Amino acid sequence: MDRPFNMPDEFVDAFAKAGASLWRSLAWPTNDERDGAMINSSLASSGRFAELQADYLKGLYQLTEHLMTSAAGGQGNGGTEPARGDRRLNGTEWRENSFYSLLKQSYLLNSRYCTDFVEALDMEEKEKHRLRFFTRQLVEAMSPTNFIATNPDVIKLAIDTDGQSLKTGLDNLIADLGKGNLTITDETAFEVGKDVATSKGAVVFENELFQLIQYEPATEQVAARPLLIVPPCINKFYILDLQPANSFVRFAVEHSQTVFVVSWRNPDASCGHFGWDDYIEHGAMRAIEIVRSIAGADKINVVGWCVGGTILSSALAILRTRGDESVASVTLLTTMLDFCEPGDLGVFVDEESVRQRELTIGSGGIYRGAELGFVFQTLRSKELIWPNVINHYLKGKPPERFDLLFWNADVTNLPGPMYCWYIRNMYLENNLRHPRRLTMCGTPVDLGRVDLPAYVLATVEDHIVPWRSAYRTTGLFGGDTRFVLGASGHIAGVINPASKNKRSYWVSDGRCDDPTTWLAGADEKLGSWWNDWIAWLKPRSGEQLPARTQLGNNLYPPGESAPGRYVKAKAN
């Protein structure tokens, strides 16, 4: 274990670079320029800095006044309140106890000053985004709720249990340090194939890279054209089949679709040679060929999610260039094809970090899933890291039992060559959006050749695939595209079951280059986007035929039962 909790080199390097950016921004002027100013032109203006200082001093004065008034028995002015939705400091003690009220107000005042200061800096946007991201990490880490001495709930529980909660919490911390992971859920609460990933089906094909699962029909009649789902290879596919009530797979099957899913292998050392082209040719393209063979259909429909959508789109561009017309439509779920605005993941990517990975694992090796998992946790540290630190280490409570967090903790490795090629050509150089700049499987790739009907879903709060980036797909594909913007984030916005019909989504028949203009003209629809999608898909699914009870065919007979053994393999 190199670092606690599998902290990857990219995180440490990016944090250091953010600090260096701030130091350069606050550098003293040279001797020739020194005229008493303490901040150089990296600030938007000296007036803006003076304004920030004045606001901060005013806040300190109000805080002192509030404290003195409270001490004298008055009510004070209440001070600053947390942002909407932030429940960390909402307890009674934080309002009624003068000590904790002072802590709360001091933390909120300093947090606001830090974030406002970063926003006032005049610097290149990528550097500023990195600084903004790590300032947020620091602000969230320094919350008084994260420390024993300044969390009233932790202190009360320790007193009530005669210190047993603190002892149990220390034991939990030692155990997690030993395994190198922060525990975010009860990892023994679910069993893949028994409690999650329970839809009935069978593995009908496998190679070194993936297993192909076909699911049993749930209706007497099924669409002639089957549905193939290509999930991300950085996560397990069963996010699409967690529980019967929120299973996208079950929803599609119950709407007369013959569903196939790619279950990527969790790579070990023997897979360290796989590259991006392998995932295209021996993954997505092979799966398309087999699904069409089993169904005996003229064409199939395909769905890709996240990096699975990037792999699938690349495969479709190659197939169309080669004259292959075996795919009728494509659905992309929170997928980036234009990486000019890569979101928070972009803070970890620059030439130096990518080159370092290429030197270590670019020619062979494994990028450990635990490191990647840590990176994803930092993207939502306020929800995924610090609540678990408080509950598990400070309060000594057992981790909660939650299927989505169980899936989140079930990490996957990636082959080094594949990972390095993907990071350089997508996140660093944004090559895929440029026609014929990349060659995959011996074929120049032009996304404009994907002239199929396309359903493109993004989610408004997505921190991994910003919705404006996903919107740019509408200008890259060559066919008719329906763009839909769902509520919530990268996971919850996609797994929004129609049976519960929660949240909402935005649609518009209008087309424009600017995503903000598109949203201004879009209509908000209540409920799940699943209903909109299935209505869009059915006209492209062919005629209704009697469902076949036998899975696979003579060439690809059914083997082990779904979900198969690949998805059950744990990352080392």
Percent of the chain predicted with pLDDT > 70: 89
Lowest mean pLDDT among 45-54, 252-261, 295-304: 45-54
Confidence bin at 566 (pLDDT 50/70/90): very high
pLDDT for residue 75 is more than 60: no
- Number of DSSP helices (H) and strands (E) in the chain, helices first: 20, 16
**Could you give the CA distance from residue 292 to residue 296 in angstroms, rounded to a whole number?**
6
**Could you give the CA distance from residue 157 to residue 141 in angstroms, rounded to a whole number?**
22
List pLDDT tens digits, range 335-352.
Answer: 999 999 999 999 999 999
pLDDT for residue 37 is more than 50: no
- Residue 43 is predicted with a pLDDT of 54
Averaged pLDDT for residues 488-517 = 92
pLDDT for residue 288 is more than 90: yes
List pLDDT tens digits, range 155-193.
Answer: 999 999 999 999 999 999 999 998 888 898 998 889 999
List pLDDT tens digits, range 133-163.
Answer: 999 999 999 999 999 999 999 999 999 999 9
Residues annotated as catalytic are 306
How far out from the chain centre does Cα 443 lie?
A: 30
Strands 481-486, 504-507: pairing kind: antiparallel
Task: Quickly count: other Cβ atoms within 10 Å of residue 376's Cβ.
Answer: 18
pLDDT for residue 459 is more than 80: yes
Confidence bin at 126 (pLDDT 50/70/90): confident
Averaged pLDDT for residues 97-124 = 89
Q: Are 212 and 290 in contact (CB under 8 A)?
A: yes
Confidence bin at 80 (pLDDT 50/70/90): low
CA distances from 348 to 44, 157, 268 (A): 26, 38, 24
8-state DSSP, 393: I
Averaged pLDDT for residues 302-323 = 98
pLDDT for residue 46 is more than 70: no
- Residue 2 is predicted with a pLDDT of 52
Pick the most confident of 179-188, 251-260, 493-502, 563-572. Answer: 251-260
**Could you give the CA distance from residue 97 to residue 369 in angstroms, rounded to a whole number?**
44
CA distances from 455 to 188, 235, 360 (A): 37, 22, 38
Averaged pLDDT for residues 274-291 = 98
Confidence bin at 3 (pLDDT 50/70/90): low
- Residue 72 is predicted with a pLDDT of 55
- Residue 36 is predicted with a pLDDT of 39
Averaged pLDDT for residues 440-444 = 98
Lowest mean pLDDT among 46-60, 177-191, 197-211: 46-60
CATH class of 201-543+558-568: alpha beta
pLDDT for residue 197 is more than 90: yes
Which of the pair, 321 or 59, is modelled with greater confidence?
321
> Could you give the 3-state DSSP secondary structure of residue 63?
helix
How deeply is 356 buried, as exposed, middle or buried, from its count of CB atoms within 10 A (0-12, 13-18, 19+)? middle
Task: Quickly count: other Cβ atoms within 10 Å of residue 27's Cβ.
Answer: 11
3-state secondary structure 73-97: CCCCCCCCCCCCCCCCCCCHHHHHC
3-state secondary structure 501-519: CCCEEEECCCCCCCHHHHH
Return the closest-CA partner of residue 92 out of 160, 150, 153: 153
CA end-to-end span of the chain, whole Å?
Answer: 12
The two tokens of residue 243 are 């529980």
- Residue 298 is predicted with a pLDDT of 94
pLDDT for residue 426 is more than 90: yes
Mean pLDDT score of the chain, rounded to an integer? 90
List pLDDT tens digits, range 350-404.
Answer: 999 999 999 999 999 999 998 988 888 888 898 889 999 999 999 999 998 899 9
